[in-house]
Structure 1
Amino acid sequence: MRIHPTAIIEAGAQLHDTVQVGAYSIIEAGAVIGAGCIIDSCARIYGNTRMGMNNRVCHGATLGVEPQDFTFTPDRAKPLTIGDRNHFKEGVNISCGIKSDDGTRIGSDNYWMAFSHAGHDCVIGDHNIFANTATLAGHVTIEDRVFLSGQVAVHQFCRIGAYAMVAGVTGVAQDVPPFVLADGHRARMIGLNMVGLRRNGFTQIQRSQIKAVYRLILRSGLRLAQALIRAEQDYPSPETAHIVQFIQSSQRGLISFAD
C-alpha cells in the first residue's frame, strides 16, 4: 500500500493492500476501497462509499458526499456502491443515497470527465461516458453505453436508454429511449445514435431494424400501444424488445421527436 504521508485515513476505513492514496486526500471511517484503486491528491472518499477494483479517483473528486437535498440528515445516509474500473476525473462529485435502501449505484467501466455530477439514488450501468459538467439530478437511471455530452442536465427520475447519445448543453426533462440521438434546449430525438451503434458492433441489418421500429412508433399514426404491438410482430429482435420495454415502463413520458 502506498499512502502519501499527508493523506488522512481514518480508523475503520478498509483499504486493500494494493491501494494508492495521494497527497492530502481523506478517506473516512467505513469506506471500503478494493484492490488496485488509485486515489489521487485532494480527493475525499466519504464513509458510506463501497468501491470495487481498479478504480481511478483523480484530484479533487468527492465520492459519497452528502446529497444536495434539504431533507437529508446524516442518520438517513444510504451507501454509494461503485463497481470496477471506473475513472473519476478532476472535481467529479457523486452523492450518497438517501431515499432508497440500495442508495446510489454505479456499475463498471464508466468514464466521468471533469466536474460531472450524479445526485442521490442514481442508478448507473456500465461503459457510460459523462463529458465535462454533465449533471444528473437525483433518482436518474442511466443504462449501458450512454454518452452524455458537456453540460447536459438530466431532470430527477428521468431515464436514459442504452446506446443513446445526448448532445451538449441539452436539458433532459423526460425519458430518452435507447439507441437514439437527442439534442435541443429541451431534449428531442433527432435521429439514431448511428456512430455509437457502429462503434459498438451493431450490424447494418440491426441498425436498419432499429430505425424501422422507431419509424413505426413515431410516424405510423398508430396509437402508441398499437404501434408497440406491431413493432414486436414486424421486427422481432432483442433491440425491439428493449425499446418496447423501455417505453412501456416510462413514468415521465418520452422526449418528443423533432420533425
Structure 2
Amino acid sequence: MKNVIIGKKASIGMNVRIGNFTTIENDVVIGDNTWIGNNVNILNGTRIGENCQIYSSAVLGGNPQDLKYNNEYSTLEIGNNNIIREFVTINKGTKSKQKTVIGSDNLIMSNAHIGHDCFIGNHCIIGFSVGMAGEVIVCDYVNISGLTAIHQFSVIGEHSIISGISRVVKDIPPYIVAAREPLSYVGLNLVGLKRRGFETEKLNELKEIYRIVFQQKRNTTLALEFIEKHFKQTIERDKIIDFIRNSTRGIIKGNQE
C-alpha cells in the first residue's frame, strides 16, 4: 500500500484490502473481507459491512449537499455484499434523519450520486450516473437505469424498474415498469418478477389491480376502494393500496398511449 492514510481510531475488520492513495478517517468502521480500491475516500461517520467492494475514487460519507446542514453529527450506514463502483458519491445524513442507509447485496454503478438521508433497500441496481437527491426511499429489488434523475422525497416501490434517462418527480408504485416522458406506468416488471418466483396467477392479479388503478378508474380513491371491495386480500394487493394511499408526492400516471 502506498500513501494510505488510516485514522488511528478507525475500526478495520479482518482480511480488508486497502488500495493505494486511499484515505480512511477516524470515525469509520469497515467489516471483514471488504475490498477497497485506489484513491477512495471514506470519511467520518461511515459504517461499512462485510464483503463489500469499493472501487477507485469513490467518496463515502461526505457532508450533505444541503444548505441547512450545520455540521450536526450524522452517519452513512452501508450493509454487506455491496458493490460500489468508480466515482460513486454517497453523502451522510442531516438532522432530518441523522443517517443515509444502504442495505445489502446492492450494485451501485459508476458516477452515481446518492444524497443525504436516502434509504436504499436490498438487492437494488443503481445504474451509472443516476442522480438521487436527498431523502429518497428506494425499496428492495429496484432497478434504476442509467442517467436517471430522482427528485428529493421520492419513493420507489419494491420490484420496480425505471428506464434510462428518466426524470422521477412522482412516486413509483411496486412491481411495475416506469418509462417514457413524462414517466408513466407501462406494465408489470414481468422479467424481474418471474426471476423472483412470482407465478402466473400472481402476475395476473397484479396486472388486473393496476388496470383498475391506471386505466379503468380516473379517481384514485375510488379505484382503491373498488380494489379493496372486489379483490381478494393478499400481501401484494395491500402493499399496492398502502403505497398509493401513503404517497405524499402522488404516483406516476398511466400509459398515455
TM range (shorter): over 0.9
The 3-state SS of whatever aligns with 1:50 is strand
Instruction: Return the letter of the residue paired with 1:254.
Output: I
Q: Within the alignment, does 1:164 sit opposite 2:160 as a pair?
A: yes
Instruction: Return the letter of the residue paired with 1:211.
Output: K
The 3-state SS of whatever aligns with 1:69 is coil
**Equivalent position of 2:52 in the other structure:** 55
Question: Scaled by the length of structure 1, what TM-score is found?
Answer: 0.95
Tell me by how many angstroms 1:249 deviates: 0.7
Tell me by how many angstroms 1:222 deviates: 6.2
Q: Using the alignment, how far apart are the partners of 1:175 and 1:133 within structure 2?
A: 20
Alpha carbon RMSD of aligned pairs, Å?
1.3
1:63-85 alpha-carbon deviations (Å, 9 max, x no partner):
111111122232x2410011111
Task: Return the match for 2:184 from 181, 188, 201.
Answer: 188
**Equivalent position of 2:16 in the other structure:** 19
Q: Does the CA contact (< 8 Å) of 2:69 and 2:94 recur in 1?
A: yes
Q: Within the alignment, does 1:37 sit opposite 2:30 as a pair?
A: no
Q: Does the CA contact (< 8 Å) of 2:113 and 2:130 recur in 1?
A: yes
Q: Using the alignment, how far apart are the partners of 1:20 and 1:118 within structure 2?
A: 24
Q: Within the alignment, does 1:213 sit opposite 2:209 as a pair?
A: yes
Q: Using the alignment, how far apart are the partners of 1:16 and 1:221 within structure 2?
A: 55
Q: Within the alignment, does 1:82 sit opposite 2:78 as a pair?
A: yes
Distance 1:222 1:236, change over 3 A: farther
**Equivalent position of 1:133 in the other structure:** 129
Instruction: Return the letter of the residue paired with 1:232.
Output: E
Q: Does the CA contact (< 8 Å) of 1:213 and 1:235 recur in 2?
A: no
Q: Within the alignment, does 1:94 sit opposite 2:96 as a pair?
A: no
Tell me by how many angstroms 1:221 deviates: 2.6
Instruction: Return the letter of the residue paired with 1:33.
Output: I
Question: Scaled by the length of structure 2, what TM-score is found?
Answer: 0.95
With 5-14 and 173-182 compared, the bigger mean Cα shift is at: 5-14
The answer for unaligned runs of 5 or more in structure 1 is: none
Q: Does the CA contact (< 8 Å) of 1:36 and 1:53 recur in 2?
A: yes
The 3-state SS of whatever aligns with 2:211 is helix
The 3-state SS of whatever aligns with 2:178 is strand
Instruction: Return the letter of the residue paired with 1:124.
Output: I
Q: Using the alignment, how far apart are the partners of 1:254 and 1:199 within structure 2?
A: 26
Tell me by how many angstroms 1:229 deviates: 2.8
Q: Does the CA contact (< 8 Å) of 1:169 and 1:185 recur in 2?
A: no
With 30-39 and 94-103 compared, the bigger mean Cα shift is at: 94-103
Aligned identity (percent) is: 35
**Equivalent position of 2:243 in the other structure:** 246
| Total equivalences in the alignment | 255
